[in-house]
Structure formats: structure tokens, C-alpha cells
Structure 1
Amino acid sequence: MGRLLPLLSLLLTVSHVFAVTVYNQVPLADQTNTASSATYTGAAAYDPTVLNPPPVPVGFVTQVSLNLQATSNNVQGLSPPLRGSFLGFSIEFSVINQVSDSFLQVPFLNLMSNIRERAGEVRIRVGGNTQETATLVDSLPGGVMMAKAAVDTNNPTQTPAILYTPEVLYLLGNISALVGVKWFLGIPFNDTTNLRLGIAEVGEAVLSGPGYLLGFQVGNEPDLYAAHGHRPATYSPYDYFGEFGVLVNAISADTSIPVKNNLVAPSVSGTWSPEDVFNTGLVPAYTSSLGFLSVEHYPTDNCYAEYGIGTPVSPQDIFPTYLTHNASLALVAPYLNASAYSASQGKQFVMMETNTASCGGFPGVSDSFGAAMWGVDYALQMGVGGFWGGMMHVGGQDVYYNPFTPPPTNQSSYHQWTIGAVYYSSLFIAEALGPTGSAQLVDLTNAITSNGGPVSTAEYTPVYGVYENGQMARLVAFNYVSDGSGASAVSFSFTVQGGNVGSVQVKYLQAPSVADKYNTTWAGQTFGGTFASDGRPTGSLSIQTIPCDTTSSTCTVPLPAPCIALIFLTPTAFSESNPSTIQTFATTAYTKTVNTATINPSVLATSNGMNGAERGTVASTSNEGGAAGVRVVMGWGAVIGAIAMGALGVWW
């Protein structure tokens, strides 16, 4: 691959498992159990607001049962085969340096390694609004790999253009060489009369050969181009169809882009439906160029609180809407037709960007254990609904929904990372689906019974089955209810008809309450609270072995309130999802350089996601002076030095 990759290969042949040097032993930031977001003035990623959990539903049923088929032969509603890498991450182009800058940040590598070892790979999309104006250049002053150009005052959203060098793509390649990440990238689409294909040319050269490149997104939320002032008010799906053809022709004529069939479209956000674009004839016209069909969607937004736009939303009032199976059903239902159409055209259907709410999410909701439960249910429902995968968005310090947040760069020597709720969702999905690529999901919620009859409260106790190679392998069972008294713990009994189950192994994702944000555990282990993690779970692993009635193959699994249980029905399913060793990484290097790009908040007013806004004004890690070319990251000499430090510091 060139550049640093041969060095990394050499280091990895020395020792597969790296010892991790603990960054520091200083006390963590104080964690308040309850607080008002109105009085908290720090960055959203560390907001201590804790909401009240919803009350126990009236008539909540705590004794439920289910009959399962041992094989999938006669099972209706099975998903296509899926991989454990299903729930990946979407990182805004402008903040890629935050999650893994020129030091190849160790916590990020460890977080990705956790998933890779369980799922076989990790999927990450790098793009968003800032992909549209990004320009590849040969070099930048000071040897940096990314910088912010001057803001165009004629642009109503004032999105700064991102200048970057090929080093960004070598950075991605080296991450992949270490932790098996596969990437979606975005081709700039703000000016189709002056296409900039450098990211595809260099991206193919660096990432395609080793199999690290999934595809190139053509336009991020083109249905919002007019609202953002990037196209005329009359811009329509047919205009997008025409511009897509311009790009296809340009790629076809570019000999530096050897792969011609990995484009991703249309990535609409809801102003247009995917059918609006499909009705233009885009897919049959350009089927040989398309690798994936895609959408982007958030269930709601917090734009009023952030920018005074739209309608005020109370986090406490909206919190219960995330804590029911119906939430996931409602999110996926609008895309069932599009996913079926994608399959009929031989294309994978992808949710390129999503999370709990656009404009940064909600305090006490997006960072709660309830959000982790919502993320698992949503991902599984997308799988049932024909999606190939989904990407949870990652923003900067001033969002509530991040799966992971590095400390401000000038605090990295005494603060560690903050791991968010939906990272647990991705880790859970990695184990629930496993690495084989043969897992097929079925939503069994409607089959839940109690005393032989339907359960009116089943939306709080959904169940999914996972068949692997045609055999029942795992179950995922929820209890969305919070009740510290223990009275709402659910007894979940299931019978595997035609099977022979002597015992099951169970791992729990749980917390004291759906509103809790500091005490989430996965099989007894945790990533801790604010500034607490180096990317590795801590604590003693806890896996329950529960005997079953071998005569009837009936098992009874307790579901504490709240929790999600991952139930392994076979030793093979358990061993696939539970690696005996996890590769970790070491370094003693810190980055204190103030080094992040910023985006004017107005670009987010009509946008999904949170792509870097307000980092110049809230919990800033940028040197805000209004000058063009703000230094973003250091050159590759620092990368080699950091990796070398880690390599020389390993113990084996």
C-alpha cells in the first residue's frame, strides 16, 4: 500500500497483542446524578443531565413465552443474510481528525478492534455536509493533512471548504491495516461543472486493493441542496438524475479510477423519498455504476434548542417514545418498499447516517441507557426490513449522541475518552449477528404469548431470533421497563420445537434505569463514564449459564428491568461471537495541539446530523481567529513516531 503500511505490517508480525499503557491515574471529572441542562454550560458530550424514566406501563405482563422453530425452513419474515458489522459509524469529514488524528489514537483503535474481533470487520462512512466542499490538494503549509479554507460569504450556509492532502486517505488505510475498517467516502458534489475526483482517484489507489473501500457516496442529502442554497429552489430529483449522469461519465473517462461500480445514491433525508429518485429511472439507467442504494434519516430533531428553528421539544416528554418496540417499527416502515426495490435491482440498501435526533440529539435521551436499547432495536429492525447496514453519526464535542468522544485535544494527557450509549448498541449487534455473514433475523414479537394468549404489552418486551446457516443460533430479548423494585423483571420462557437444547448462555446489556448514563454494563463490563475509557471494557466478565428442560427443550431466562439479553442457543454461536483474545494497542504519545476544523452552525439548521458546528464557541478545541487555513493536524512524522513508541513499548 505504500507509505506507512509496510511498517505496520512489520510491527504486527512481531506481536499480535499489544500491551496498553495507561494514560494517567488522575481522578475523573465529577459525575452528577441529576442536573438541569439549563444550568449546565459545558460541552454537550459531557452534559450530566439525567431524566426520569417512564413509569411501569399499566398491566405490564411479566410472564411471557414463545415457541421457536429449530430450523428456518418454514419461518416467515426472515431477513437477508447479515454480518455483525451491520451497525457501523458515520463520521463527519471535518472531524475525522478528532476520532483518529495523526497519532492514530489508541482508544479509537481499541474501540474498533472490539467490534472487528466479534464481527470480522468494521464499517465507517466518512462524509456528510463537509464532503461536498472538500478539495484534495498536494500539500498544505506546515505539512498538515487538513485545513479550513476561507468562508465564502456569498454562501448562505457559510460552509467552510475543507482542504486535505492524500495523507488523510493513507491515515484511513493504516487504520484499516490495524483494525479491519472498511470505508464509504463522499465525492464532492457541490459543483458538477467542476467535478473534483481526487478522493476517488487516491481512495481507489490506497484503499481498494486491500479491500478496504466499500464505495463513494454521490451527494449528501441532495433533497436539502435547495434549502442550503447550493442549488436553485426548483432543484428536483430529475436534476439530481442528470448530475449523477455527469459524474458517471466523468468516472468512466478517468483511468485513475479503475473501479466503476461502487457509487452510492441517492442518500435523501426525507424531503424527497427514495422513490422520488427511483422514479426518475436512476437505477436501471446507471445500474452498472451503482453499488449501493441509500437513505439518511433521524427520528426527530433538536434544532429549536440549538438554533431556534422549528418547534421546541422537551427531552423528558419525548424520552418515552424511544423506549418501545413501536419506535423501531415506525422508523423502518417508510423504507420497506425502497429496500425491496433495492433487492429487486440487485443492490444493497444502506442507512448512511442516523442517530437519536438531528441537531445534536437530546440531553438525557441520546446519552442514556435507553438510547443504547433503542439503537439495538432499531438496528435489528433495519436488518429485518432489508437493510444491509446502518451508520450511527459521530459529531464533535457539542453533541449528545456520539458513540465515542475524544477529550479536547489540549486535555488528552489527563483525560481519556467518553463512550456513548450507541457504541454499546454496535458492540451488541456485532455479537448478536456474528462474523459469518449467514445470520438471518426474524422479529418474533407478535408471537409472544402469556397463558396462551397475546400480550398487550409486548411492545416493551420485543424478541428477535437469529438463524445461522438455517439453524436457530441466538435470541435477543428486551425489557424496556425501569423498575428498581424487581417487580417488573420478566420471566421469558421459550421452547425450541424440533431442537435439543440442554442449556443456554446469556449475556446482558443492562443499567439500573433506562435514564442512567454512567453505569451501563455489557456482560458485566463497562467503558465507564465521562473521560473514563481507553477503548477497552473494564470489570469482570459475567456470562450466565441457564439449564433448560431437556425433555421439551424449554428454557426460562430472566429479564431484569431494564435490560437486553443475548441468548446463545449453541456452543458454536457463542464461540463465534466471543473471541478469546482482543487485539489492543499502546502508545505514550499525546496530542495537545489545538487542531479541529469548525463549521458555521447555520449549515445545520436544515440538515440532519451535527457535523462540527459550534466547536468554535462551545467547548472549543479550535483556535478561532477567523483566519483561513487553521492548522488541523500534524504531519506523518508524528504518526510514525507515535506508532514506533507503541511498538517499542509492547510487552510480550
Structure 2
Amino acid sequence: MTPFATLLLLPLLARAGITIYQAPGQAAFATSAASANAASYTGAAAYNPTTLTPPPVPSPAVPSSFALQLQTGGTPGASIPQPGDFIGFSIEMSVANQVLGKNATFIQVPFLNLMANIQQRAGAVRVRVGGNSQESAALVAASEIPDGKILQKNLTGVTGTTQTPPLEFSDELLYMMANISTLVNVRWFLGIPWFVTQPFDLAIVGAAERILGDTLIGYQAANEPDLYNAHGHRPATYGPFDYFGEVSDVLTQLASSGNDPSGRARTLLLGPSIADAGWTPEDVWNTGFVDAYSGNLAFLSVEKYPTDNCAAAFNTGAPIIDPQTVFPNFLTHKAHTSLLQPYLNSTAFAQAHGKKLLMFETNTASCGGFPGISDAFGAALWGLDYALQMAHSNFSGAMFHVGGQNVFYNPFTSPPTNQSTFHQWTIGPIYYSALVAAEAIGPSNTTQVLDLNANGGNEFTPGYAIYEAGEPVRVALFNYITDPTGASTVTAVISVAQGGAGGGGATPTQVKVKYLQATSVSQKGSYTWAGQTFGGNFASDGRPTGTEDVQTVACNTTAQTCSVTVPAPGFALVFLSDGAQTEARGAPSTTFATTALTKTQNTATVEASVLATSNGHGGPSDPLGGAGVLGSTSKGRVSGAVGLRPGAVLFASSLGALAFGMVVVGRAVVR
């Protein structure tokens, strides 16, 4: 078995003669340590080491330089004003206890830090707790769930292609969500269970109104109802008019159930959340859905994944998709314009009816995504381009989905429970997409996004202009190509013209640039955003590490142009003024430390390559000059940290707490 590295060991202080082994099938902790061969890997999908080959450099070559002419005073084609919290997260309800925390008192510190990063840039974060597992979830008394857990799954009652288990949860889940909102500005969506309609189980609404209050901003009225008949939850004849009738039923039952005494919940429905599986949005709009329930619908919603990996994940019998073959499909701007084109009528329809349309659940591919695609740098570019294209297309928000250990596409993944005392979180490429999108859009809630059709509409080098109050403030530039020679680096030559009859130049004398970078679209982990990173597998406490690197580019004041390069691969966010950068960066981020440790014994380990040549029964020499000392890993035996300074103990505990502990809070809402 191979030794593995986990936490930072305070060198020269702890000297135990111990041997540490890697868990079977699990990838190594540190990026410098070896990982399992992809062909024989049997561990959790979230840490799968499969690495694909980047697509070849396009031929003919992409034009290496292109002009981008922006204009002040407004521009045709820009989007509707967009909120700073445009990109949020959809957390599968069945894994909420892995992502959010253990219960209302113990909240995951990395999750708080990850949300604080977004809040810093966007002002708020929208999070949905739901998905397929919400549809049969039942609120029960805490005493009905053993071992103090907040939810439990019935693994013998799985249904549908994704084999979703029915859930039972206690109101402790809602108290935990409420307490999170006292620490970070998270606003929540929940779902009404929709598999059984006569009567609907509306207990979650009553509890959420009482516990979450106005931090709850929407109740999903069914999740992918167009798939109900395919999954055996409705008759084969079930269609949009049947769904229309069920929404009427839920409103009637809410009014008489006592679960919505103020009537607020009846104004916060969200639907139809169809998955483009036989119904189109127009099929629902044509029932009169929006006109009939206008006063009840806080948002309109759809859900769309560009493809699926269900055949491989669940042995459906359909042909299995080869990730290497479809990898190029995720590395082109055309993928997004084609995917969203069928929704342009619906975004216009929503505006005409005074509604906001959300892409309520999405990611690289349904049924968990693809190894080597969903968990590689190309997905970071894909997700960021997708986010900005949705904003340009007049969606009013989108939610990147979060599953458990068994998916490839997670924005962030907590370590397996049995490794939570020594492993940190794994931050996926889609989280980088969300973080950079928040900074690109900014917190003003008046941002307009324009697809510039950059580089003659080249599919590998798209670009967007970000406007506020009619003025261009930021430019977003992509390069999907992997080319280590540097020959595919592109240069955008940006100029700003004064709008109106007067014309004239308004190009700044200099611009600031931040880069999202990796060596290849196939790279896994350790990407950098302006020089900072969340590391590789098991490496993050939710805070970016490293020194922020913001480049200053001098503009040509004679030609009135600013030339910004974009590496292959990479992304550049160009700030046209210092104020635009300051606004998008936001206030200093609040980070969180734990006030309780779940384990304080035997948590120090060493990097595998060091351990391989240093441990053994002979014991190491004392680096401080003393004799070799043997130690034990068992509590109450000879200390494995002989000579450990008290100050170092405090430092290590603080570091460990920030890395993977829980923050203890009092309940924000009185029961």
C-alpha cells in the first residue's frame, strides 16, 4: 500500500515512529503525491484521477489579434439588468448534511468561507436545497431519526434513472439553514414534495415560514415534472395541463392547511422547472400557467444539462458516451449559444409578463457529469462562458448543482465522513466559474452583459462587455485552446468610443487585468484566479491561498487602444477603471473559524515522500539535538509529539479548525 499525506505537520516538533497508509481506492491528498491509475481507480467519483487529452490546436489557426470597439452611453443588444448573485448553487437535499453541516449547531466552516467569497463579490448568494430527493422528502420529528442525524435515506425505496432514495428530515435542517444566513447572506430555495398530490405534504412550508422567514425566497413547485411519467410517478398521459391543475391544487391546500397563515408562501412559487424531456417551456406557457398564477409565481424556471452520463452511471442500457470523444463539445462558445437558443423566446416571454426566468439546475452533464471533463479546467471556462451567456440571454440567475461523493461535477465536495478529521475540502472547476462570474457581474444589481461576437465570432475566443448605467466597466475574454507553445495566445485590442453625436475617444490610459489560468484544459485542481488557488483534492478550507496578482496594462494613448493578451488556455477579466475593479472585488471577505473540534487526538501526519524515508522502528534523530524518541499514536501512551511547544499546539488547532472543522452557533430562531 502507498503512504499518503494529509495535514501539515509542524516540522522538527512531532517525532512519532508511525506508519501511515492510503485508504484503498482513494486518491492521494497532495498534488505532489501519486494518484491511482485511472483505469483501475475504484474510489469515489469526486476524486477520480482520469485525465483526458486536450483537443488539438485548431486548424486553420485562430486569429491572434482582434479589435473590440466598445461604446459609452449604452449599446444595443445588452442584457436586462442582472443581479450580483446571478450564479448560485443547487444542493441535492440528500447531501445537505455533508455540505451545510451536521446540524443547526455545527455548521461546515469551508461552506461558510466559500459562500463568503461569493458574497464579497456579489453581495449575496442564492442556494437551493432540493433536487430529485426533495420530491418524496418528509419532515418528521427529530426523535424519529436515530443518532441525532438531521436526515436519513430509505435506500430500499430508490426510484428513477438516478436511483433517488426517499428522505426523512427534521426541522434541524431548516434551523441550520437559518443559522447559516445569520453568518453569510445566503437566501434559500426549497421544494414542495410533489410525488403525492392528494393531499400534498405541506409541512415543509409551515416549518420554513416559521424558521427561515424572509431568507426563504422561493418554493419549487415540482422538480422536472416532464420526467414524472418516464420515472413511474405519473401515468403515461401526464402532460402540461395536468401539471397546471396540480399547481391549483397545491395553492388551494396551502390556503386551508394552516401552513401558510400569512399567505406569503403562496406568492413564492417557482415553476415549471421542466428538464426539456418531452415538454417545451412553450407547452407550459400555452396552458395559461403564467397568467393564471401570476400573483403566485416569484420566478419562472427551467432546468437544463447539455448532455448526460446516465448510461455509464446507472447502466440504463443506452450507449455509453466516451468522455474523450465529447470533450471538444465543452470547449467552444457555440456549445452555449446552441444550448440556450431554444430559451430565448421564454426569456422574452418572462420579461413581457414581468417575471424572472431562472436556470434552476444545471451543470456539465446530468447523472453526475464526466470524468476528465466535469472535474478539469475546461469545465471552469465552460461554466464561466455559460454563466455570462445566460446573463446575456436574459436569464435572471442560474444554479450549479452539487451532489455527493459519487459525482464528477461538484463545485465543492466535503471529504468522506471517515476522513473528515484529516482531509479538507475539494474545490471543483465550477466553483471557480461561479467566483469569477460574481466578480465579472459585480454587486450593483444593474449590470448588463453583452456578447461581443469577438474575434469575428470565433468559437474558441469569445468575449463579453459588462456595462453599468450604460458605461462599459469590464471586459471578459476567453481562450479555450490548449497550446503550450504560446502560438495560440490571443490579443484583444480594446478601445472605447464616446457615445452620442460628439463621438471621440474614451479609452482609459491603463487597465487592470485578472487571469484564470491552468496549464491545460485537462488540468485537475490547483487552477489560479489572479494568482490565488483552492489547491487540489482535499486541500481547501474554502479560502483562496496565495498572493493576489492583478496585472496593470498600459494603454496606447495615441492609438486609443488597450492590448490585453489571453493565454491558451485561460480567461482574462479586464477592468476599465480602478473603480470597476474595486466594486467587483467587494469588501474584505469574512472568514470563519471553528469553536469546536470533532477530533483533537492523532491528527498530525506527514507527506508521503518524506515519510517513506524517515519512519521506522529505529526512530528519527532529534533535530533539536536530543536523542531519538519513539512515540505512539494511541491516546494515553507515550506522546508522539514530545517537546511540542504550547504555542504550536494552539496554532495547529486553529489551523485544523479552519481547515475542516465546524463552527458552533446558537440557534438564530427560537423554537
Q: TM-score, normalised by structure 2?
A: 0.81
Alignment pair present for 1:413 and 2:421: yes
Cα offsets for 1:567-593 (capped at 9, x unmatched) = 01122211111135210111164558x
CA distance in 1, matches of 2:196, 2:404: 27
CA distance in 1, matches of 2:35, 2:662: 39
Change (3 A) 1:31 1:316: farther
CA distance in 2, matches of 1:432, 1:156: 37
The one-letter code of the counterpart of 2:55 is P
How far did 1:150 drift?
7.1
How far did 1:344 drift?
1.1
Give the match's secondary structure for 1:576: helix
Q: Does structure 1 retain, via aligned residues, the 8 Å contact 2:107–2:664?
A: no
Alignment pair present for 1:48 and 2:53: no
How far did 1:28 drift?
2.6
The one-letter code of the counterpart of 1:390 is A
Match of 2:593 in 1: 586
Q: How many residues align?
A: 564
How far did 1:307 drift?
2.0
Match of 2:96 in 1: 96
The runs of 5 or more residues in structure 1 that have no matched partner are: 1-22, 450-454, 593-640, 647-652
Work out the percentage of aligned pairs sharing the same amino acid: 52
Alignment pair present for 1:288 and 2:289: no
Match of 1:61 in 2: 63
Give the match's secondary structure for 2:218: strand
2:384 to 376, 383, 395: 376
Which stretch has the larger CA shift, 33-42 or 274-283? 33-42
How far did 1:549 drift?
2.1
CA distance in 2, matches of 1:584, 1:89: 19
Give the match's secondary structure for 1:291: strand
Within-5 A mapping of 1:355-370: 355-370=363-378
CA distance in 2, matches of 1:346, 1:492: 37
Match of 2:236 in 1: 233
The one-letter code of the counterpart of 2:491 is S
Match of 2:275 in 1: 269
The one-letter code of the counterpart of 1:321 is N
Match of 1:618 in 2: none
Give the match's secondary structure for 2:116: helix
How far did 1:115 drift?
0.4
Give the match's secondary structure for 1:459: coil
Change (3 A) 1:642 1:297: closer
Alignment pair present for 1:197 and 2:231: no
Match of 2:401 in 1: 393
Which stretch has the larger CA shift, 572-581 or 293-302? 572-581
Within-5 A mapping of 1:215-230: 215-230=218-233
Q: Does structure 2 retain, via aligned residues, the 8 Å contact 1:315–1:362?
A: yes
Q: Does structure 1 retain, via aligned residues, the 8 Å contact 2:45–2:406?
A: yes
CA distance in 1, matches of 2:65, 2:166: 57
Change (3 A) 1:213 1:376: same
Match of 1:25 in 2: 8
Alignment pair present for 1:212 and 2:210: no
Give the match's secondary structure for 2:142: coil
CA distance in 2, matches of 1:543, 1:380: 22
The one-letter code of the counterpart of 2:127 is I
Aligned-residue CA RMSD (Å): 2.2
Match of 1:111 in 2: 114
Q: Does structure 1 retain, via aligned residues, the 8 Å contact 2:159–2:231?
A: no
Alignment pair present for 1:334 and 2:339: no
Match of 2:133 in 1: 130
Q: Does structure 2 retain, via aligned residues, the 8 Å contact 1:409–1:591?
A: no
How far did 1:148 drift?
2.7
Q: Does structure 2 retain, via aligned residues, the 8 Å contact 1:35–1:50?
A: no
Cα offsets for 1:436-486 (capped at 9, x unmatched) = 1010001001xx45xxxxx37x11111100001221110001111111111
CA distance in 2, matches of 1:153, 1:367: 27
Match of 1:443 in 2: 451
The runs of 5 or more residues in structure 2 that have no matched partner are: 1-5, 10-27, 499-505, 600-660, 667-671
CA distance in 2, matches of 1:157, 1:427: 29
CA distance in 2, matches of 1:373, 1:201: 41
CA distance in 2, matches of 1:304, 1:185: 29
Q: Does structure 2 retain, via aligned residues, the 8 Å contact 1:96–1:126?
A: yes
Within-5 A mapping of 1:458-469: 458-469=458-469
CA distance in 2, matches of 1:473, 1:482: 28
The one-letter code of the counterpart of 1:189 is W
CA distance in 1, matches of 2:435, 2:162: 36
1:507 to 514, 521, 524: 514
Give the match's secondary structure for 1:126: strand
Q: Does structure 2 retain, via aligned residues, the 8 Å contact 1:147–1:163?
A: yes
How far did 1:24 drift?
3.7
CA distance in 2, matches of 1:118, 1:168: 27
Match of 2:252 in 1: 249
Give the match's secondary structure for 2:267: coil
Within-5 A mapping of 1:296-315: 296-309=303-316, 310-315=318-323
Cα offsets for 1:358-382 (capped at 9, x unmatched) = 1111111001110000000001111
Give the match's secondary structure for 1:203: helix
The one-letter code of the counterpart of 2:107 is L
Which stretch has the larger CA shift, 155-164 or 81-90? 155-164
Q: Does structure 2 retain, via aligned residues, the 8 Å contact 1:215–1:264?
A: yes
Q: Does structure 1 retain, via aligned residues, the 8 Å contact 2:378–2:522?
A: yes
The one-letter code of the counterpart of 2:198 is T
